[in-house]
Amino acid sequence: MPTQNSQHPSLVVFDHPLIRAKVTALRDRETGHRAFRALMSQIAGLMVYEVTRSFTTDSITVQTPLEPFDGDHLSQRITVVPILRAGIGMTEGVLELMPEARVGHLGMARDEATLEPRAYLNKLPPDLGAGPVILIDPMLATGGSAVAAATMLRDAGAKDLRMICLVASPEGVQRMAKAHPTMPVYTAALDRELDERGYILPGLGDAGDRLFGTH
Ligand code: PRP
Ligand code: URA
């Protein structure tokens, strides 16, 4: 079961053996971009089960081969929003389980000197308030990118907003909690700290570069 963190009430940290083992393989510097891509997508898929727990359903009747069955279907329009580039790596795993979801894109690049994010793309569906929105970025480091992305989504009308990431730092979690206190953040791992370049320790390095083989 994922655990609620007493210091960060909106943070949920996963503690599933499959997720822990896959995150360890992601961290391993010997893991190449092909395996890295597959692992990232698989972990995101495993997390979706918990992240979507509060989604609402409507009744629907289907015919089994034997008789009618009163069942459920998802009642709201779901939107997933990866932060480019690295968020793309988790999106596929989410869409495999929720193929009906729409996909918005936010492009953010972190300035390596100031560590502040620069937005370069904003492509979102117009009616974001029509249902839950899942912001996706594997790394919550200083929190600058995630805070800016969540603000863009709120400004665009998102009401029911949550974020999934793979590795979070205490600094990033705190910054998110301050800027967006009611927004749940789900992470596969909560790491120790940031280094002087804003990288998460122990972390997994540069997620975008490892995902796309650009290092
Ligand atoms: C990485 C990562 C996050 C951001 C996290 O992206 O994917 O978006 O850094 O850092 P922060 O919490 O300090 O803002 P990056 O800007 O390196 O772009 P990329 O995904 O294109 O490599
Ligand atoms: N972005 C990454 O990809 N990795 C980090 O550790 C921090 C920011």
Confirm whether 160 is a catalytic residue. Answer: no
**Which of 29, 206, 211 to mutate to test ligand 2, by most ligand atoms within 8 A of the CB atom?**
206
pLDDT-derived band at 207 (thresholds 50, 70, 90) equals: very high
- Domain housing 169: 2-212
Residue 53 confidence (pLDDT): 93
Which of ligand 2's atoms lies nearest the C-alpha of 206? 3
Which of ligand 2's atoms lies nearest the C-alpha of 207? 3
Domain count, the chain: 1
Which of ligand 2's atoms lies nearest the C-alpha of 203? 6
Nearest Cα residue to atom 3 of ligand 2: 206
Residue 215 confidence (pLDDT): 85
Task: Give me the half-sphere count of Cα atoms (radius 13 Å) on the Cβ side of residue 210.
Answer: 22
Averaged pLDDT for residues 93-98 = 96
Give the whole-angstrom CA distance, residue 160 versus residue 198. 29
Higher pLDDT pick, 6 / 206: 206
Give the whole-angstrom CA distance, residue 149 versus residue 136. 10
Q: Which one is catalytic: 114, 118, 127, 195? A: 114
Higher pLDDT pick, 89 / 8: 89
Confirm whether 70 is a catalytic residue. Answer: no
Rounded to the nearest angstrom, the distance between the alpha carbon of 184 and the centre of ligand 1 is: 19
Whole-model pTM?
Answer: 0.95
Q: What's the pLDDT tens digit per position in 96-128?
A: 999 999 999 999 998 989 999 999 999 999 999
Q: What's the pLDDT tens digit per position in 2-43?
A: 776 666 778 999 999 999 999 999 999 999 999 999 999 999
The DSSP result for 101-124, as a single string, is: -EE-EEEEEE-TTT--EEEEEEE-
| Helices and strands, number each (H, E), in the chain | 6, 14
Q: What's the pLDDT tens digit per position in 159-184?
A: 999 999 999 999 999 999 999 999 99
Confirm whether 209 is a catalytic residue. Answer: yes
Residue 6 confidence (pLDDT): 62
pLDDT-derived band at 46 (thresholds 50, 70, 90) equals: very high
Q: Output the domain CATH number for residue 182.
A: 3.40.50.2020
Residue 117 in contact with ligand 2 by CB distance below 6 A = no
Neighbours of 192 (CB within 10 A): 10
- pLDDT higher than 90, residue 1: no
Give the whole-angstrom CA distance, residue 128 versus residue 30. 40
Rounded to the nearest angstrom, the distance between the alpha carbon of 104 and the centre of ligand 1 is: 17
